[in-house]
Structure 1
Amino acid sequence: MGLFTWLWDWLLYLFWSTEMDVTIVGLQNAGKTSLVRVLAGQEFTVDSVPTVAFNKKEVKKGHVSIRCWDLGGQVKFRTMWERYCRDVNAIIFVVDASDRDAMSVAKDELHSLLEHETLNTIPLLVLANKSDLKEKLSVDEIIDALDLKKIVHREISCYGVSAKEETNLEAVLQWLVARSGKH
């Protein structure tokens, strides 16, 4: 990186930096922690330890600093999702695009979460992770399986991503940065 680029980035961060909070939820083994690690510039690892309660990781994109709250997806942690989703700039719901059997539970958990009035205006980004696998659902199939068309009165987007292959992660960051001044 050239000196001018470094200086420009530093000045942007110093004088025009923006901070935002996002909460990342989804069922266990969807790849939430791996996704956050890769977004934060770390290496993808196959042997991620399941998240107990939550992890917090900071991701920088230009002049935007994104605090990511990565919540555990096990049944015992789902009751705390709503509390960590309040007052964030965006909710990211991650599903394992290759786990067809989990879609029904994922749909129920997502719709249950979004029923809370405290979350009414918060944009939702659904990420179909593990899109690099052969036996995966397409984005359209994910939209149908999660009944996303029934979610109204809120901004919603859905992308197929792969933490392992780093597919579409730049689009995810751009989507988040575009919402940094909202909510």
Structure 2
Amino acid sequence: MAGIFKKVYDWLLRLFWATEMDVTMIGLQNAGKTSLLRVLAGGEFTLDSIPTVGYNMKRVQKGHVTLKCWDLGGQPRFRTMWERYCRGVNAIVFIVDSADRDALPVAKDELHLLLDKPILEGIPLLVLGNKSDIEAKLSVDEIIEALDLKSISHREVSCYGISAKEETNLDAVLQWLVAKAHK
């Protein structure tokens, strides 16, 4: 009988206290944005992810918070769309391939170019170094330095190492995002 009460309680929570928040996931191509979103939404990790053309959206349920996640293409021709999809969101999630050192200077430039837009001021930023399961990965401190995250002001900035493949640290990511829903 306790199971029924819990289901009714959860339903009432969602009905009266549900929160929906918008999150934009950006980063260079092949960083693992789509794979991460698929895993967060309860799907399976696959190695043969097709590059995102334009964008796609998935809803991720965590307790009484629904995260509406926009996954934007990372190829150069789609980066001009990033600003439009970052306006008014609760959080920006910037994903880098922590094993691709050569891509980090471009990732840094693209991130800072985006964050310099006045309309995006104050939106919290979560930087994720994906592919932490690969031995040649950069540490979180190395990512913070490579992307010059300490120079970013006028917003909260956090950085985690994750693995979409191994599902490492994804609970911390969801907790961080859900906390932004309550601000």
Is the shorter-chain TM-score for this pair beyond 0.5, marking a shared fold?
yes
Match of 1:26 in 2: 27
After superposition, where does 1:1-183 map in structure 2 within 5 Å?
2-182=3-183
C-alpha deviation, 1:53, in angstroms:
0.4
Report the aligned-residue RMSD: 1.1
- Structure 1 residue runs of 4+, over 4 Å off? none
C-alpha deviation, 1:95, in angstroms:
0.2
- Which one-letter code corresponds to 1:83 in the other structure? R
1:21-55 CA-to-partner distances (Å, cap 9, x unmatched) read: 00000000000000001000111111110000000
C-alpha deviation, 1:110, in angstroms:
0.3
Supply the distance in 2 between the matched residues of 1:178 and 1:25 (Cα, whole angstroms).
20
C-alpha deviation, 1:4, in angstroms:
3.2
What is the aligned-residue identity percentage? 72
Structure 1, unpaired ranges of 5+: none
- Which one-letter code corresponds to 1:23 in the other structure? T
TM-score (norm 2): 0.97
Structure 2, unpaired ranges of 5+: none
Residue correspondences, number: 182
Supply the distance in 2 between the matched residues of 1:137 and 1:121 (Cα, whole angstroms).
27
Supply the distance in 2 between the matched residues of 1:153 and 1:121 (Cα, whole angstroms).
5
Supply the distance in 2 between the matched residues of 1:109 and 1:84 (Cα, whole angstroms).
15
